[in-house]
Amino acid sequence: MMQTRATIQRALVLKTVNELHGHATADQIFERVSQEHPSISRSTVYRNLNFLASDGKILKIRVPDAADFYESKNMPHYHVRCIKCQRLFDVDLDFMTGLENQIKDKHGFDIIDHELTFSGICPDCKRQAEHSDHTVTIEADNDESLSLNGPATTKHHRGGHSKAIALEQ
């Protein structure tokens, strides 16, 4: 009975990873699976993700200082992670097969594989930063503050009232 249940759960996890068509964390995959199957546990999803990755059915991408990502594309390739939104994207660069054979390690390691993840700012976050209004708040001694936000300014009084003031450009 336990083997059948694990197989069904593993199939659900694999189906979900395939449906997500991209890079997803274990938590994102768990949330998606549990929407349709609320009785499945987080540990079951994690265990099956690790099994599927070790079995070569999905790719597990280790990202320094972040959660691991999983994807259905199981051929080795490189990634870039946005430092703003933390999303992961594929890099259009040929995988350097055999690179580990070209590296001589001074510390006695036998290099068997490599992963490469670049860091940057994705186009969505870059566009958002270019178009976002920057707000500056100036506190006054009389319990008032002045917020500068793009072309509009708001004067806040201690009592919670605010007054909009237009700035000339």
Q: What is the pLDDT of residues 106-141, one digit of tens each?
A: 777 888 888 888 999 999 999 998 887 555 556 656
C-beta pairs of 7-10 under 8 Å, 24+ apart in sequence: 9/40, 9/44, 9/45, 9/48, 10/48, 10/51, 10/52
Percent of the chain with pLDDT over 70: 73
Edge-first strand order for the sheet with 117-120 is: 88-90, 79-82, 117-120
φ, ψ at 161 (rounded to 5°)? -80, 145
pLDDT score of 158: 53
> Among 1-10, 73-82, 126-135, where is mean pLDDT lowest?
1-10
CB-based contact 82:117 (threshold 8 Å): no
More confident residue, 89 or 137: 89
The model's pTM is: 0.64
pLDDT score of 169: 40
